Structure 1
Amino acid sequence: MVLRVFCGTWNVNGKKPSVRLEPWLFPDGMDAQPPDIFIIGIQEAQALTAMTAVVTDPAKGKAWSEAIRKLLKPDYYMVCFRQLVGIVLLICAHRDVQVDDLLEADAGTGFLNVAGNKGGVAARFAVKGISISCVSSHLAAHEENISKRNQNFQDILKRATFAEPMFVEDLGNPARDIHILDHDVVFWVGDMNYRINLPVREVMQLIEQRDWSSLARYDQLKTEMNASRVAPGFEEGSLNFAPTYKHNSDTNSYRMDEEGGIKRTPSWTDRILWRSRLGVRLLAYRRHEVYSSDHRPVSALFDIPTEAVDRGIVSVPSAFKNLCFICFFVGRNMAKRTELTGYACFSHLFSSINSWMTEPPSAV
């Protein structure tokens, strides 16, 4: 048994959803087994002018949410919609899939490191005993700002935390934060703005030759990840498609200046990363020819194995002698039954059933 997850990202350049989204959300070959979960990141849902770069316009994000929801109905329902200025995160689940423990967060990394024109929107949830967190991000622009992009990534990890609500109010413990990395699987999508460190002429030659592997050797994000300077523990599929930025909005050609030269060095700014404890399998990673923005949308399809966690009721030895916890629901909030106390509830900072079951009990 597997949980199939579709991840998509698109910087829409402030445009309204006026084009067909099926080539992006339902690419060829996906019909055999439709996704259980859609995780979709939108960047620049609203134009980032001096007046709009720090104030969220909910109508802009909701226009994209409604367009995607309409396309997915009636088989899917909306789990999460969250917007920070132009950054949007949408999560939709199949009607046969139950999603629990949803929490949301965001972190602005733009002007003064707080404005939401750059930053990330995050959510966490549980499904089939698996804890998943996901991020839609828009990192610092311009070719030279590699270190700033790396810092944006770290700031989102640090500040986009999920406050765990109290399960038993009279325990008197403060709410505890859950971090993005405290989960079985993490998906990170977005316009990460990393560029290709080559002169424009050489980049265009490699694009014409469709030599993606040679081009990828000069990709800033690949270089930074390989040097462990960003995205610790994350993986990415091979970049076997053309750079996604900067295009003319209505054609497949890259944007040129008035003299006929390429305006910006074409780059893979739009990316999908993942990090997993469960042996996630990447099935597809590709760009899509949907024209309306100067970016092209990207998608990835994943299978997450559920056999290791989908066990129903499990019995776990406790730290107390001759006592066993019986978990009827495995989530952050769990119920326990003991011979001494009958039914009781407690709040537990839970992220992975695998690690929880295999860790030795703490001394009491």
Structure 2
Amino acid sequence: MDALQLYFVTYNCALNQIDVEHFSRHLFDALPATNSPSPAGPDIIVLSLQEIAPIAYAFLGGSFLAPYFAAFSQAVDRAATQRWGSHYVNIVTDNSGMTGLMVFARSDVNDYLSAPDIAQVGFGFQGIGNKGAVGARISYSSKTSPQAGVDLTIIAAHLAPMEDAVEQRNADWRTMVERLVFSRSGTVNIGNGEDEDESESAALLSNPNHDHQGIFAPASYLFLGGDLNYRTADRFPSKLDVSRFPQADAEPGGPLHYSQLLKGDQLKREMQLSHCFHGLSEAPISFPPTYKYNHDAQTAARDPFHTDKAPEWKWASHRWPSWCDRILFLETPLGLGDEARVKVLGYDALPVSPTSDHRPVALTVSIPISARRALNEHRTAAPFPIDPNWATRRDMARRKEYLVGCLAYLGLTWEGNGLMLATTIGVFSAWFVLRSLFST
């Protein structure tokens, strides 16, 4: 294998647990017909998940959030087994508030991956994670030549919403660069079951390029996907604007073809002005907007036999149809030449989901495996320096997330309401009993 094949999917779950059957059936729809992954499937599968669960469960985490992640694991396992008969190992499951990241490696690839380094940051009020980013950094070492490999930095993100919040989204990107900082994790796991901590292979997998804490690391490929929330207009649509929304049967070049709306894409504009995502690239967009689909579109998606694509183009009237869901990448890492350039194999949207007003988006790439080389750690492509107080800020935000999660659990969930009611009844019952005892 002279290249690592990665399949990256970003999906806004709209706070709902996925329909496992629907998601698994369409998970690999965006894989290209030509230049497709190996007969066993992609080497690595990435899921960037936004609004993965209601705020109470997402902020409390643990067993509250586990069922939501488990549904995606089940969908990946079902889809891969049915398509290739392959088994994938879940090597990363983490979240920053309501934004989650899952990374799966094919079982024969997993043995040659380093333990992941993890980073988290929130973009919400005082840094809490109603919006935020979570990242993982891993290394792959070639099966045939341990001196060669690939370093990956993978980020799931959810930026500020609404048409007029462009500056806030750009500020969220800056926060990501300054405060999404990776911390070292456990020891390296090499295949074959041998203790190789002192071996050449282990040393290479724990390569010094991982010591760079920020999202831009020398020789590391960077993939960033999520609900970046950039819209196609700087204001909310009026009733008259709805007639200009894209239509499924529009001819290319016509006024109602989605390509007309793409001309107003905020993300492309802001990147060209160097206001955000400095140094990153995106494959050409050749699919319709991924947001915001109305209830009729979601209802139609529940029917596995429907073939009419028109329901997928039923838009919510109070938002401009937009390409909110995007995947960006660093074409060639700092310190590597053109021979190390990422090769894009496919970039497309998956079908409308019955549980979300967003369409998932998937990117398929081939990443060259090359010999590792010594690099100057002081060289960086980062547009902003790391915030020296990132750890303190994140710890404080996590405490606030837990408090908000507890309050939301008690006030916004059936279980919490039941607990509050039971507690109230218990207190009044105890008071009544004690009052009766002392009054006799």
Q: TM-score range by the shorter chain?
A: 0.7 to 0.9
Shift of 1:299: 0.2
Whether 1:145 and 2:188 are equivalent positions in the alignment is no
Q: Deviations over 1:108-146 (max 9, x none)?
A: 11122x111101010000013211001111110111000
Distance (whole Å) between structure 2 residues aligned to residue 194 and residue 69 of structure 1: 28
Whether 1:250 and 2:299 are equivalent positions in the alignment is yes
Shift of 1:153: 1.4
TM-score (norm 1): 0.75
- Write 1 or 2 for the structure with the bigger share of strand: 1
Q: 1:279 to 1:356 in 2, by over 3 A?
A: same
Number of the residue aligned with 1:77: 89
Number of the residue aligned with 2:152: 132
Number of the residue aligned with 2:16: 15
Q: Contact 1:105/1:162 (CA < 8 Å) preserved in 2?
A: yes
Shift of 1:197: 1.6
Number of the residue aligned with 1:184: 220
Shift of 1:99: 1.0
Which of 322, 339, 358 does residue 295 from structure 1 map onto?
A: 358
Whether 1:280 and 2:342 are equivalent positions in the alignment is yes
Whether 1:35 and 2:3 are equivalent positions in the alignment is no
Number of the residue aligned with 2:323: 268
Number of the residue aligned with 1:91: 103
Q: Deviations over 1:302-347 (max 9, x none)?
A: 00111x32xxxxxxxxxxxxxxxxxxxxxxxxxxxxxxxxxxxxxx
Q: Contact 2:18/2:71 (CA < 8 Å) preserved in 1?
A: yes
Moved more, 87-96 or 199-208: 199-208
How many correspondences in the alignment? 301
Which of 175, 186, 199 does residue 155 from structure 1 map onto?
A: 175
Distance (whole Å) between structure 1 residues aligned to residue 103 and residue 136 of structure 2: 9
Q: 1:202 to 1:181 in 2, by over 3 A?
A: farther
Shift of 1:54: 4.6
Shift of 1:62: 2.4
Q: Deviations over 1:180-209 (max 9, x none)?
A: 111520000100110002753475157644
- Seq. identity, %: 28
Number of the residue aligned with 1:6: 7
Whether 1:220 and 2:266 are equivalent positions in the alignment is yes
Q: 1:225 to 1:355 in 2, by over 3 A?
A: farther
Shift of 1:222: 0.6
The one-letter code matched in structure 1 to 2:313 is S
Q: 1:3 to 1:147 in 2, by over 3 A?
A: same
Q: 1:60 to 1:152 in 2, by over 3 A?
A: farther
Shift of 1:17: 1.9
Q: 1:111 to 1:254 in 2, by over 3 A?
A: farther
Distance (whole Å) between structure 1 residues aligned to residue 163 and residue 77 of structure 2: 37
Q: 1:31 to 1:282 in 2, by over 3 A?
A: closer
Number of the residue aligned with 2:245: 204
Shift of 1:66: 2.9
The one-letter code matched in structure 2 to 1:161 is V
The one-letter code matched in structure 1 to 2:28 is F
The 3-state SS of whatever aligns with 2:275 is coil
Q: 1:24 to 1:272 in 2, by over 3 A?
A: farther
Unaligned runs of 5+ in 1: 169-174, 257-261, 310-352, 360-364
Number of the residue aligned with 1:305: 368
Shift of 1:296: 0.5
Shift of 1:68: 3.5
Distance (whole Å) between structure 1 residues aligned to residue 158 and residue 284 of structure 2: 21
Q: 1:63 to 1:203 in 2, by over 3 A?
A: farther
TM-score (norm 2): 0.63
Distance (whole Å) between structure 1 residues aligned to residue 165 and residue 377 of structure 2: 42
Q: Deviations over 1:149-186 (max 9, x none)?
A: 11111211221111246999xxxxxx965211115200
Greater Cα radius of gyration, structure 1 or 2 = 2
Whether 1:237 and 2:283 are equivalent positions in the alignment is yes
The one-letter code matched in structure 2 to 1:39 is V
Task: Identify which of structures 1 and 2 has the higher relative contact order when contacts are C-alpha pairs closer than 8 Å and 6+ apart.
Answer: 2
Whether 1:103 and 2:117 are equivalent positions in the alignment is yes
Distance (whole Å) between structure 1 residues aligned to residue 51 and residue 348 of structure 2: 21
Whether 1:64 and 2:78 are equivalent positions in the alignment is no
Number of the residue aligned with 1:318: none
Distance (whole Å) between structure 1 residues aligned to residue 263 and residue 18 of structure 2: 34
Distance (whole Å) between structure 2 residues aligned to residue 134 and residue 195 of structure 1: 24
Distance (whole Å) between structure 2 residues aligned to residue 52 and residue 75 of structure 1: 29
Shift of 1:79: 0.9
Shift of 1:22: 3.4
Distance (whole Å) between structure 1 residues aligned to residue 13 and residue 53 of structure 2: 9
Distance (whole Å) between structure 1 residues aligned to residue 177 and residue 26 of structure 2: 28
- Write 1 or 2 for the structure with the bigger share of helix: 2
The 3-state SS of whatever aligns with 1:100 is coil
Distance (whole Å) between structure 1 residues aligned to residue 260 and residue 139 of structure 2: 39
